[in-house]
A and B are shown apart, each in its own frame.
Chain A
Amino acid sequence: MVQKKKIKTTIVSQKQIAEQVYDLWLETRLAKDAHPGQFVAVYPNHESTLLPRPISICEVSEDKRRLRLVYRVAGKGTAEFASYGAEDSLEILGVLGNGFPIDKAKGKRVFLMGGGIGIPPMLELAKRLDCRKQILLGYRDKDLFLQEDLARYGDVYVATEDGSVGTKGNVMDIIKAHGLAADVIMACGPMPMLRAIKKYAGENKIEAYISLEERMACGVGACLGCVCRTTKVDAHSHVHNARICTDGPVFEAGEVDI
């Protein structure tokens, strides 16, 4: 396993790509070992905001020297990140978590399903998967992001809650509207979406890997802040809890009780 590190990184560029959504490229040697579905913890510089913010890895540059993070401003910490530009520095801890099991998709029909700010990790995943990729994206409205990047790696289908673009509804409605089918699902998004995917995968006997999120403190598996309920006794905790930061964030849908 690659050793985790907390290091200073330099911002290469940052721009806003949708309402409250920012696209950040960081120069960092952590990029070398980054795997789709993993995340980094980004530290605000202001001393009142102590804890690092877990942000998924959206993309790794060709030369593996830069990481792309696409995040939504949700509070003081992320608002601070959004205020920075090229040449500014940020401290990050990484790379963290397990990531998506790429091998499980080889040669199969795969749904990559992203909802809202769960869309970013689908990009590096789409780049690395060697299979037939159907990329299902759910947005609130026509304020889309990353769909053009994703279209380079597979067939993109869009749903919007208000029906302004693509299918009206969510990613599950795309499956129905287009009569799509898959052997494996890899997904990241809000909890109601993940619950619907778990149910759909169970009913259709499809392997599904879902990326969970929870409020975190340490990011490295020590504090037990970010646990999720597991269906079986977890091998590390010896109770029905797994650590999202370390045992996840990606879980096989049947392993977790969500």
Chain B
Amino acid sequence: MNTQVTIAGVTFKNPVMTASGTFGSGMEYSDFVDLNKLGAVVTKGVANVPWEGNPTPRVAEVYGGMLNAIGLQNPGIDVFIKRDVPFLQKYDTKIIVNVCGKTVEDYLDVVERLGDQPVDMLEINVSCPNVKEGAIAFGQKPDSLYDITSQIKKKARQPVIMKLSPNVTDIAEMSRAAEAAGADALSMINTITGMKIDIHRKKFVLANKTGGMSGPAIKPVAVRMVYQAAQAVKIPIIGMGGIANAEDAIEFLLAGASAVAVGAMNFVNPYTTVEVVEGIEAYMQRYGMEKVTDLIGAVEG
């Protein structure tokens, strides 16, 4: 049984990754799961300098999901290279670094700094809905997405994944723009912008008023968008959005994802990632499948 998948020349032992921002750099979850069992660890977004993030409350629960408005708090690339990269290097898993910035120059700065680092891929965050500058500002119009993607591709020494937002009218058009600009892969979906109001206090629950919604409640939206993107482009897609178990992950693969990432459900069950890996293997065994890649885009009709 072969669970390997290859994306932009990088081979992963299985198609299961962590979604950026839900797993730190793996340190906190290494108490619960053996990181060696994961296809890749995708790190929390890192910028060229430390970011303080948003005021609290930063998280809220909603029916079947949650809202977050962390605002990309991160220690900056210097600390990240000194502390987080060496930590992840101890494990037999691929390292994908999520990159964020306020300006194109910020992104390019981080991408260049990572050029000689032992990281396997870069994931460019042009879809965080919780910061005032940067991030989603680059990911909601095809022209700006094309522009930032092509500039990053010129500087990047590792393959580039563009992480797309669901907060757009036409995901196929956005996917095509990233592909045309040279993106090696896409990941989707980032969170869906949401809001929660405390009716007793007549106040917004989140200090930021709006937050990104994640969790099982958004899964059907994510599966649909992965499918539409997979129909529109040839580059591989990493699918995510509410994956709670292997069945959910397989849905994404069938819709056209080459790999999947577990996000908010890490908070609900810290063992989710490894359970998804094992569940995919059990599914393959049950249906006598040789290669996990046979599942990719295999939905019929």
CB pairs A–B below 8 angstroms (16 shown): A6-B271, A43-B268, A47-B64, A47-B216, A49-B61, A50-B265, A51-B267, A215-B56, A217-B68, A217-B267, A220-B32, A223-B59, A223-B68, A225-B57, A237-B75, A240-B52
Chain A 238-257 interface 0/1 with B at a Cβ cutoff of 8 Å (1 = within): 11110000100000000000
Main DSSP-derived SS at the A contact region: loop
CB of A226 within 8 A of CB of B66, answer no
Contact residues of A with B, CB < 8 Å?
Answer: 3-6, 43, 47-52, 77, 93, 214-228, 236-241, 246
For B267, the chain A residues whose CB sits under 8 A away are: 50-52, 217-219, 222-223
Fill in one digit per residue for B12-46: 1 if any A CB lies within 8 Å of its CB, else 0: 00000000011110001101100000000000100
Tell me whether B63 and A220 are in contact (CB under 8 A): no
Taking the closest CB of chain A, its distance from the CB of B152, in whole angstroms, is: 24
Shortest distance between the CB of A49 and any CB in chain B (Å):
7
Nearest chain B CB to A38 CB, angstrom units? 15
In the bound assembly, the distance between CA atoms of A77 and B60 in angstroms comes to 13
Instruction: Using A4-B32, A222-B24, A222-B29 as known contacts, list a sample of 20 further A-B pairs with CB atoms less than 8 Å apart, ordered by residue number in A.
Output: A47-B216, A50-B65, A50-B215, A51-B268, A93-B270, A214-B56, A215-B57, A215-B58, A218-B22, A220-B32, A222-B23, A222-B266, A223-B22, A224-B53, A225-B59, A225-B68, A239-B52, A239-B73, A239-B75, A241-B73
Question: Which residue of A52, A93, A224 contacts B70 across the interface (Cβ within 8 Å)?
Answer: A224
**B73 CB contacts on chain A under 8 angstroms:** 224, 227, 237, 239, 241
Are the CB atoms of A223 and B271 closer together than 8 Å? no
With a cutoff of 8 Å between Cβ atoms, the chain B residues found around residue A222 in the complex are 22-24, 28-29, 44, 266-267
How far is A219 from B59 in the complex, measured between Cα atoms in Å? 12
Chain B residues, CB < 8 A from A223: 21-22, 59, 68, 70, 267
In Å, the complex CA distance between A48 and B215 comes to: 10
B24→A221 contact, CB < 8 A: yes
In angstroms, Cα B264 to Cα A43, docked, is 14
Question: How long is the Cα–Cα vector from A51 to B57 in the complex, in angstroms?
Answer: 15
Q: Is B79 an interface residue (CB 8 A)?
A: yes
The CA of A49 and the CA of B24, in the complex, are separated in Å by 23
Give the docked Cα–Cα distance between A138 and B143 (Å): 59
> Is the Cβ of A238 less than 8 Å from the Cβ of B76?
yes
Q: Which residues on A sit within 8 Å (CB–CB) of B58?
A: 215, 224-227
Q: Report the separation of the CA atoms of residues A221 and B64 in the bound assembly, to the nearest whole angstrom.
A: 22
Q: Which residues of B contact A5 (CB under 8 A)?
A: 32
> What is the 8 Å Cβ interface bit string for chain B, positions 255-270, against chain A (1 contact, 0 not)?
0000000001111111
B237 to chain A, nearest CB (A): 25
Residue numbers in A under 8 Å from B21 (CB-CB):
223
Return chain B residues, CB-CB under 8 Å to A225. Answer: 56-59, 68, 70
A225 to B31, CA, bound (A): 19
Query: Is B51 in contact with chain A by the CB < 8 A criterion?
Result: yes
